[in-house]
Amino acid sequence: MLALKSVWNRIVYNKGISLVLILSIAAGFLCPIYVLGEIYSLNVLYRDNLYPNGSDILAVGCFSGFIDSEMERRILENTKADKIMYESVFQMTAGWKEDLISSVGGVSPGFFQVTPYLLTEGRMFADEDFKADKNICILKESSRLALKGARAGDYVTLNGQKYLVAGIIRATRVYADIILPYCEMDGIMGGRSMQHRILFMPLKQFETEALKGQLAKSGIEDVYSVMSAEEEEREVMEPSYRENHKKWLMVGSAVFVFAALGIWIITLGKASGERHLYGIQKALGATDGRLFLEEAIQNIILVACAFGLDGVILMLPIEKVLPFGVEYGISVLGQILGMGIVLILFMSSVSFLKMKREIRELIEGEVNW
C-alpha cells in the first residue's frame, strides 16, 4: 500500500511530464500496434480465402457465352466431375451516385459453398434469388462502389436496370466486384462471350491437354489456364501476402525505433525531475529493490494508459483513413503485452540508473540542487 501511495505521489509530482510521456508512448506505439493488427488481418484473410479440400477442386479459366443447363450437363458428363460451380466476370459501367467502371459477374447457386468469404454487411443470396428477375446483387468490400460508400440497401444501376445491394463481402477468391445470381447474366450480356472460372469438385486428375479435349466436347474451346487450388495459392496468393508482411514490418519497425528514442529522452528528463523523491526515500532507508519496484509500478500505469488510448483510437472507424479496419486475435494481444513489458523494464531501468547515478554524484559534490 505504501508503495502504491509513493507511486501516486511521483505521478502527481511530475504530472505534466507524466502526461507528455503517456502521449509520447501512445503516439509512438500506435503504428506498431496497428501493423500487428494489419498482419493478423491479412493472415486471417489469407487463411479464410483458401479453398476447402483444395486437392479435390480444380479451377479452369475459359471464355464462353452463357452456361446453360445443357452445357453444364455435358461438362459433368465429359469430365466425370461430381458437380461444378462457376463465376463469370466482365467489365461494365455501374451507376451509383456517379458512373464507375467495375468488374461485374454472376455466380452459380452453390458457388459460395466452396469459395470462402466473410459477410461484413447485409445478407448473402438466398435460393429464391436464383430464379431470375430478382434484380439483386452483392458487393465486394474492396470494390470502388463499396469504398465510395455504397452499402446494403442501396441500388446500383447496370445497363439501365437497378439492382438492390443485398450484402457486402470480403473475399479474395471472388473476382467480380459486383456479384449477381448467374441467371441475370444472359440478359445483361446479350449472348456475348464472358470470362468464366469453373470449379470442378472433385475431378479426377487430367493432363491439361486431355482436360481441354474433354471441355471441347462440352462446347468450351478456349481454356486459357488450368491450375489447381494449391498451385494458385503458392504462385499468386502467398507471394503477395509475404510482400505485404515485409512492407508493414518495415514501416512498423522504423516507427518503433524512433518512438523508442523519443521515450528514452523523455524518461531521462523525468528521472532527473524525480531525483529529489528518490534521494529522500533512499535517506529514509528504502532499498534499491523497493525503489526499482515503485518505478516499475509507475511505468506500468503510464504504459497501460498509453496503450488504452491507442485502443480507443483503433476502435474508431479508421478504415476511412487507413487501408482497412484491423482485427486482433489472442496472439496479437500477447505480442502487444510483450512490447509493453519490454517497454516497462526499459523505462524502469533507465529511470532507476539515472536517479541512482545523479544521487551518487550529488553526494560526491558534483551536482548542485
Q: What is the pLDDT of residue 107?
A: 93
200 closest CA partner among 65, 76, 25, 303 = 76
Asked if residue 255 lies in contact with residue 28, where contact means CB atoms within 8 angstroms, the answer is: yes
Q: What is the pLDDT of residues 254-291, one digit of tens each?
A: 777 777 777 777 777 776 666 666 666 666 676 777 77
If you average pLDDT over residues 64-93, what whole number do you get?
A: 85
Amino acid at 155: Y
Q: What is the pTM of this model?
A: 0.51
Residue 95's SS3 state is strand
Q: What is the pLDDT of residues 286-341, one digit of tens each?
A: 677 777 777 788 888 888 888 888 888 877 766 555 555 566 778 888 888 888 88
Cell of 268: 531521462
Q: Measured in Å, how far apart are the chain's first and last C-alpha atoms?
A: 30
Write the CA distances from 35 to 2, 31, 96, 265, 340, integer angstroms: 39, 6, 33, 24, 15
Asked if residue 90 lies in contact with residue 105, where contact means CB atoms within 8 angstroms, the answer is: yes
Band (pLDDT 50/70/90 cuts) for residue 239 is low
Band (pLDDT 50/70/90 cuts) for residue 180 is very high
CA distance 214 to 327: 45
Q: Work out the mean pLDDT of the chain and round it to a whole number.
A: 76
Write the CA distances from 358 to 15, 272, 277, integer angstroms: 21, 8, 12
Helix pair angle (288-314, 330-363), 10° resolution: 140
Q: What is the pLDDT of residues 40-57, one digit of tens each?
A: 776 776 665 555 545 566
What is the helix (H) or strand (E) element at residue 234, kind and residue range? none
* Residue of higher predicted confidence among 181 and 131: 181
Amino acid at 226: V
Asked if residue 129 lies in contact with residue 136, where contact means CB atoms within 8 angstroms, the answer is: yes
Cell of 361: 554524484
265 closest CA partner among 23, 21, 30, 10 = 21
Asked if residue 325 lies in contact with residue 242, where contact means CB atoms within 8 angstroms, the answer is: no
Write the CA distances from 253 to 29, 117, 326, 350, integer angstroms: 10, 31, 18, 21
Residue with cell 497501460: 304
Q: What is the pLDDT of residue 52?
A: 52
What are the backbone angles phi and psi of residue 349, rounded to the nearest 5°? -65, -45
Q: What is the pLDDT of residue 273?
A: 65
Amino acid at 336: I
Q: How many residues does the chain have?
A: 369
CA distance 36 to 18: 26
Q: What is the pLDDT of residue 299?
A: 81
Amino acid at 170: R
